[in-house]
Amino acid sequence: MSGDIITTTHHLACTPSRAARELGLKRGELDLAVHLGIIRTVPDEGGGGRRVPRSEIERVSSGDGFPESLRDRVKVVGTSEGADVMDVPAGRFTRLARLGLVVPVTFYLNRYRAVVWLYLAEELKRFAADEHNAPPLNDRRMPEGLRGMLDTGMDLRPRNWRGRHRGFLLRLADDPWECAGALAAFLDPVQIAELVPDPYERSHLNRFRPGPPTSGAPGSPFALIAERIMTADDPDEISLLRADLTAVLQDARRMRPAPRPTAQRVPAPEHPGLPGSLRPEEPERPRGWLRRLRRGTPRATAP
């Protein structure tokens, strides 16, 4: 059988790359469809990431208007094309995005290290078609309240993207540790160290902590910019993340405590030349020796 297809307990499933080819999507479009809940995935029982069930490919490909309808649902546009979709100047579109009236679905960094936000074309069409949105779209000047927020330098694009991406990651999480990792992905290391003082537990949490959805070598300018966007910087946002992570960690600890190293028994030294019955026995370890070996490692407690 091809290496792209595996047999799971209930169904056949294939790699995301193969699923994208069969559905006529680019790999990034497939990832977005998964994030949006359009395409369902399952964990690979062999530990190789997530797979797309064959039944899911058949379900999606049998939909009305496939494949054009599927591509329309995952089509993303930047500022210029988004402004055209909504029939507004590019400057007004940017102001709407800064105010959080339209929410980016992803971003990338161009060669000038500038952040390029991308939006779902379908969402922009729905926003423009809603008559309640006519004032910020069509009035010659922005409503006074909105102008005041812009004058303060408000830009909700990073925070709104984080909220949306957090929902994506939580939707893919299969257990409390993965949920905790998804929440921890948006907090800086100092915040995580305060909430999870136990080093073994913190190390286990970091295994489930995804990075920004952009490529770039660790420490490169691209990676640093993406990490900054990924990290919450608003006090209210940080407070909510801390509270949610604290609650999820309590469930994770109850369900499956973080693994810890186990102390190994030291074998008795060999005494050549002495019969086994005459070799000195290993002295009995005093009660509580394991506790003393672990002294200095704090026990995991709920923050």
Task: Give residue 267's pLDDT.
Answer: 60
3-state helix, strand, coil in the chain (%, to 5): 50, 10, 40
Instruction: Write the burial class of residue 158 (CB in 10 Å: 0-12 exposed, 13-18 middle, 19+ buried).
Output: buried
Q: What is the per-residue burial (b if ≥16 Cβ within 10 Å, else e) of 178-193?
A: bbbbbbbbbbeeebbe
What are the residue ranges in the chain where pLDDT is below 70?
1-11, 46-47, 215, 263-303
Instruction: Give the per-residue pLDDT at 278.
Output: 43
Specify the pLDDT at position 271: 52
Nearest Cα to 201, choosing from 169, 245, 263? 245
| C-beta of residue 166 within 8 angstroms of C-beta of residue 119 | no
SS3 track for 192-254: HHHHCCCHHHHHHHHHCCCCCCCCCCCCCHHHHHHHHHHCCCCHHHHHHHHHHHHHHHHHHHH
Rg of the chain over Cα atoms, rounded to whole angstroms, equals: 26
Instruction: Give the pLDDT score at 251.
Output: 94
**Number of separate helices (H) and strands (E) present in the chain:** 16, 7
pLDDT score at 268: 56
CA distance 113 to 293: 49
Rounded to 5 degrees, what are φ and ψ at 149? Answer: -65, -40
Whether the link from the prior residue into 67 is cis, omega within 30° of 0, is yes
Q: Measure the CA angle with vertex 149, ends 146 and 153; round to 5°.
A: 135
User: Tell me, what's the pLDDT at 47?
Assistant: 65
Quote the pLDDT of residue 32.
94
pLDDT at 22: 95
